[in-house]
Structure 1
Amino acid sequence: MPLPKVLSFIKNENYDHLSSEVVTMAKKSLLDFIASTYTGYQCKTSSIALKSANWIGEKGYCTVIGSEKQVSPFAATFINATLSSCMDIDDGHRDAVGHPGCMIIPPVLTSGELDKNCTGKELITAIVVGYEVGIRCGIVMNSNHKQLFYGSGGWALFGSASGVAKIKRLTEESLKNSLTIAEVYGPTAQCGKSIAAGSMTKESVGWGATTALMGVLLAEHGFTGPNNILMDKHLYNSDIETVFETLGEKYEIKNIYFKQYPACKWAHSPITAALNIMKEFNPNLEEIDEIIIETFSKAVTLNHIKPQTTEAAQYSIPFTVATALCYGAVEPFHVSEEHLKNHKIYSIAKKIRMIQVDDLEKDFPRKRPARLKIKMKDKEVFTNEVKLVKGDSENPLLWEDLVDKFHRCSKDFIDSERREEIIERIKNLENITNLKEFTSLLR
């Protein structure tokens, strides 16, 4: 089992061991996380999440991004995690089938903020540690995703606990208990139920991150957990030892993808295909007879024709593809509540039919392919197939792309001078000697 190797990695990993590429990816992930968090304020979820401080702990010194609130560590973790995930524009990892950043960065940032001696280098290291452990747990746990599909709150909490434990410099015994408590206390994160209902629970992100933080604090004070992690070996198709064999040598953070659109990653290929067709052929939308989307079976479940909530819209391939066709873009405000009754979008969405096809099924989860066919009333057919999109690790968003995304996501909440300062601080994060210098900019 991987626990001894994992504990050794968490304890011994240090900034000087990290390559410049890995450090840059940690900075990009942090910038993307903050952009996604500001975007979250466009969701109804945000106002409810902010109220949670009344119950989880209103008194404290931890930053809520985009708010004047300073609250307890638990409240800050829950709110920031929920905000960063509620627009579904946060980072992800294909093989883990979910989102590490929204789970790992909030409790790590909170813990670093409370530590008077936490530096930018330590924050970078803790983020990397969290991503490396969390992603590998996701790869194992979702190796049998056709039968048992864990949302990010069910697997990335191992990364959350690892990153927080690294910030807190725990002894090996406390470190072990931090991870094993997470094994038992973590949410099952049955996101399929949330997707079907279009509910705010999504992938149990807010509670997963908060649970991980609680587990670390309990372990720090002597609370014990079982003796290992990933104990449900019979449920997984991956060999656990093989997945963790490269820990500390091969860095999975380099395989992170970043999103251009506020939608489930499974929708990004058909959205891109729709935009490609509009750019190349510019078909008359009123003359469309039918739109067929061929894709893999998981994506076919995202078939809400007329979503009733923002969350359902993010998980609706017909709605987001119709948006792309109508407006030539899919921006966060396109999936906000005021757009849900947009007749122009609905008139296109109801013409969409989704089909699972075997030749694209075999590519999942390594790729999220889709083939879009627009059939016109005059029998002309426009087709475009997409297997990789801009933002995938094979076709990554550059630093400049993420800076542009950050501006687009945060411009309605903070002025340009503050935005530029945040970007500059992240770009030179290793030079920060006290994390509060940075977090104070986010309020």
Structure 2
Amino acid sequence: MPDAGKEISPKPAGSASLRSVAAFVLGVRPEDIPAATRRRVSLLLLDTLAICAASAPIEAGRIGRETTARLFGAGGPGDAARMLFDGRTVSMAGSVYAAATQTDNLDGHDGFNPAKGHVGVAVVPALAALAEGLPRLSGPDALAALVVGYEIASRAGVALHGTVADYHTSGAWNALGVAAMAVRLRGGDDECLRQALGIAEYHGPRSQMMREIATPTMLHDGSGWGGLAGMTAAILAEAGFTGAPAVTVEADEVAGYWADLGRVWLTDQQYIKPYPTCRWGHGAVDAARLLRERYGVDPAEIAEVRINTFAAGAALFAGMPGTTSEAQYSLPFAVAAMLANGRLGLHEITGAGLTDARVAALVAKTVVRVEPRHEARFPAGRWSDVELVLADGRVLASGDVDARGGPDTQFSDDEIIAKYRAFAVPALGEARAESLLAAGLGLTEPGSRFTDLARHLYASV
């Protein structure tokens, strides 16, 4: 493992890692990818699209789409793509920006524990945008391109966080996954890929994640700008624009992160979120859920809520949120909403959910503490425990709980589909949501086309 903060530099002529990345990005075939991984990525695709659809009415998504329409128009048909769940035509880069920004602002999309961030939020919109110009793109080829995005972005994220001192948003590294997909699907060569990765890394938004954690806003995880940078990088590289070599790919110090590319499938290790809030709070939310179910706790009888967690989780927004952005990054609020309502979904983090007096009373009674044993297991796990002190003096303890939906506690296909329906049906209506579901699952079939799914993606919500 490289020392964090150590300055690194790539070899001028590339590296063995770069050559293996190029061989994988440009050469991997659908049949080279395990069938289970292809099935998994079809579910990740659907999970992301459900969150994208559900987030369309949220203010941040609306502003993102309107700004895209104003600023990121296409120069010609070959550069154009429609915005997801909107339908207006903009540039390919703009369509990725709009959908990633929209999805990023409903924090229910997939993620990757070791990178402390998210891949699908950028690479799913990239696939849709690129497929607009590829009407004959087969379902298996579309899923293979999506796997490329997940594999490249996941490793770039771990390489970045393993070699720099600061903690950057996902846009800093999911830009490389988008660039790799674009070069693959647009027929680029090794040199085009090298330049695209270099441009994407250089211009990817190395924004400091903990600033957003401290003061939650619509900036979220930087993935809109990551998607914009990645798609733009690929188009620039096609035109002959050159970029500094991507140190997260080419430096000697990061070679270990790429050594198992094509053998170990990080796509399978992405987590699925049960709640549309920051993953760092999910262990504590699940602990609260277990206590509520086990003891039938009346929220009015709770005198104190004690949350023991890791340092990053303890840094989440502490007070009663005034906005949806703050609600998604608030640990005490998420736990209180679960204790008060027995659920934590879109309704709890929007509208009247932000002014629920029962939730506010519990937030005011909450104490958060950093627990060393939970800190030692981060970021591989998101462990927490919750204690409820009742008015009669009893203390109910959950024990240690890790966030569900990750590699160690994966949801079944049926559970992922149930989550998809929970978000997609209210946004799209049952008929459209079910048609989209069938088309997404059908992409694994040899005779399928991405257009089978795309026809359900562009009518406005």
- TM-score normalized by structure 1? 0.94
Question: Are the counterparts in 1 of residues 279 and 403 from structure 2 also a CA contact under 8 Å?
Answer: no
Deviation at 1:100, TM superposition (A): 0.5
Q: What does residue range 35-434 of structure 1 map to in structure 2 within 5 Å?
A: 35-52=50-67, 53-57=69-73, 61-143=80-162, 147-230=165-248, 239-430=253-444, 431=446, 434=449
RMSD: 1.9
CA distance in 2, matches of 1:228, 1:152: 16
SS for the counterpart of 2:410 is: coil
Per-residue deviation at 1:343?
1.6
CA distance in 2, matches of 1:186, 1:336: 30
Over the matched positions of the two proteins, sequence identity in percent amounts to 24
Cα distance change on mapping 1:423 and 1:319 into 2, 3 Å:
same
Amino acid at match of 1:296: F
Cα 1:227–1:392 shift into 2, 3 Å: closer
Alpha-carbon offset, residue 239 of structure 1: 4.7
Which runs of 4 or more aligned residues in structure 1 lie more than 3 Å from their structure 2 counterparts after TM superposition?
Answer: 58-61, 430-434
- After superposing the two structures, state which structure 1 stretch, 151-160 or 401-410, moved more: 401-410
What is the CA distance between 1:341 and its match in structure 2? Answer: 2.1
State the alpha-carbon separation in 2 of the partners of residues 168 and 360 from structure 1: 45
Question: 1:63 and 1:383 mapped to 2: Cα distance?
Answer: 50
Which residue in 1 is equivalent to 2:10? none
Select 1:15's aligned residue among 13, 20, 30: 30
Map of 2:44 onto structure 1: 29
1:14 Cα deviation from its structure 2 partner: 0.9
* Alpha-carbon distance in structure 2 between the residues aligned to 1:54 and 1:228: 32
Letter in 1 for 2:419: K
Structure 1 residues 301 and 22: alpha-carbon distance in aligned structure 2, compared to 1, 3 A threshold: same
2:455 aligned counterpart, secondary structure: helix
Q: Which whole-Å CA distance do the structure 2 matches of 1:32 and 1:323 have between them? A: 23
Bigger drift between 63-72 and 220-229 goes to 63-72
User: Structure 1 CA distance, aligned partners of 2:119 and 2:405?
Assistant: 15
**Cα pair 1:294 1:356 within 8 Å, conserved:** yes
3-state DSSP of counterpart to 2:453: helix
SS at match of 1:271: helix
**Alpha-carbon distance in structure 2 between the residues aligned to 1:248 and 1:232:** 17
CA shift for structure 1 position 433: 5.2
Q: Which runs of 5+ in 2 are unaligned?
A: 1-14
Letter matched to residue 189 of structure 2: T
Report if aligned partners of 2:41, 2:146 keep a CA contact under 8 Å in 1: yes
Amino acid at match of 1:284: D
In 1, distance between residues paired with 2:261 and 2:395?
48
Aligned-partner Cα distance in 2 for 1:96–1:374: 32
8 Å CA contact 2:384–2:402 kept in 1: the answer is: no
Q: Is the 8 A contact 1:277 1:382 kept in 2?
A: yes
Contact 1:293 1:371 in 2 (8 A): yes
Please give the secondary structure, in 2, of the residue aligned with 1:71: strand
Instruction: State the Cα distance separating 1:419 from its structure 2 match.
Output: 1.6
**Paired residue type of 1:115:** L
* Structure 1 pair 265–255 and aligned structure 2 pair: CA distance change class (3 A): same
Deviation, 1:169, is: 2.0
Q: Are the equivalent residues in 1 in contact too, given 2:113–2:380 (CA < 8 A)?
A: yes
Q: Quote how far apart the aligned CAs of 1:68 are.
A: 3.4
Contact 1:186 1:208 (8 Å CA) reproduced = yes
- Counterparts of 2:428 and 2:372 in 1: how far apart (Å)? 47
- Larger CA deviation: 205-214 vs 376-385: 376-385
The 10-residue stretch of structure 1 (250-259 or 330-339) with the greater mean CA deviation from structure 2: 330-339
Tell me which moved more, 176-185 or 116-125.
116-125
Shift of 1:257: 0.4
| Contact preservation (8 Å) 2:381, 2:403 | no
